[in-house]
Amino acid sequence: MMLRLIASLLLCLCCSAQAAPTPILQHPIDLDVPGGALHGTLLLPQTGQPVPVVLILAGSGPTDRDGNNTDGGRTDSLKRLAWALARQGIASVRYDKRGVASGRPLAPDERQLSVEGYVADAVAWAQRLKADPRFGPLVLLGHSEGALIASLAAPQIPAQAVVSVAGSGRPIDQVLTEQLRERLPPPLFARSLALIEALKAGRQASDVPEPLQVVFRPSVQPYLISLFHQDPARAFAALRMPALIVQGRNDIQVSVADARALSAAKPDAQLQLIAGMNHVLRIVPMDLKAQLASYNQPDLPLAGELPASVVAFIKAHT
């Protein structure tokens, strides 16, 4: 009886030791690039051996490393996702893009921005992480427009796997046309179509009506020209490594149809549709007021199925 009791106590002690949380190191990480440096945040589980590392790529516009809009609106979506991965033994690096937040000095004028520039930065970060002995397999994870950047960058490294979260499956000019059709009166929508066609042809326009300046202002047109040249489904189809597509069913910016288009382009990719999840990765009803409010509610928990799906995919393929 005494031996059995001692054995039981030892088993409990072993289980308790295994259940203890892994220490996580968080510290700044920089990447030297021509003209300065890009600044990021590293989360590194302290396991004593190389761990998988995820390079997290933020979405469009003035979105920082944490998933927050620097013009207003805080979600901490990418920050929360990074911590969820770290608690499962997966390292991550997320960084401010050039022209955004701490990356603003690298592109103080948005005319300097391009998809090709963003891809080059992602490749440079990835190459640095692959050379670091603390890290094992490298995964690129892009949210929204970041999914396109991940798809374009991954073959150049190459990455071990790619995760697309709320990534478009159509050329962005088609998505923009769809969004503007729902929001603009006919005369302004007609002018928007003309501007989109000009930009697709590589021509900039100076006569932009005031209500359309937020989308088509002259300073952002060079970036739109580079963006409209891209086909997200074609880029995704070119991937030769495992890929995961994650899409929320309650996303008012990117639809389930986009996720299915990516899936059709790369049939061997895993498709995960998450009920109730919106574009900022929270469970929110399909109510416009609630949706908009969630774009400035960082305390809302992430959709639980999101990190679970990403972690399971990474562990299966690394």
Q: What is the pLDDT of residue 19?
A: 52
Residue 92 — φ and ψ, nearest 5°? -155, 155
DSSP state of 209: -
| Distance, CA of 252 to CA of 248 (rounded, Å) | 9
Q: What is the pLDDT of residue 215?
A: 95
**At a CB cut-off of 8 Å and minimum separation 6, what does 282 contact?**
75, 77, 294, 297, 300, 301, 302, 303
Peptide bond before residue 222 is cis, with ω within 30 degrees of 0: no
In CATH terms, the fold of domain 21-170+231-317 is Rossmann fold (3.40.50)
**What is the dihedral sign for C-alpha 152, 235, 255, 83?**
negative
Contact 119, 28 (CB under 8 A): no
Mean pLDDT of the chain: 93
Extended strands (E) in the chain: 24-33, 36-45, 51-57, 91-95, 135-143, 161-165, 243-248, 270-274
Q: What is the pLDDT of residue 72?
A: 85
List every span in the chain annotated with CATH 3.40.50.1820.
21-170+231-317
pLDDT tens digit sequence for 33-63: 998 999 999 999 999 899 999 999 999 999 9
| Distance, CA of 68 to CA of 77 (rounded, Å) | 8
pLDDT tens digit sequence for 57-94: 999 999 999 999 988 899 999 999 999 999 999 999 99
pTM for the model stands at 0.92
| Distance, CA of 124 to CA of 95 (rounded, Å) | 12
**Among the ranges given (180-184, 260-264, 301-305), the one the predictor scored with the smallest mean pLDDT:** 180-184
pLDDT tens digit sequence for 278-292: 999 999 999 999 999
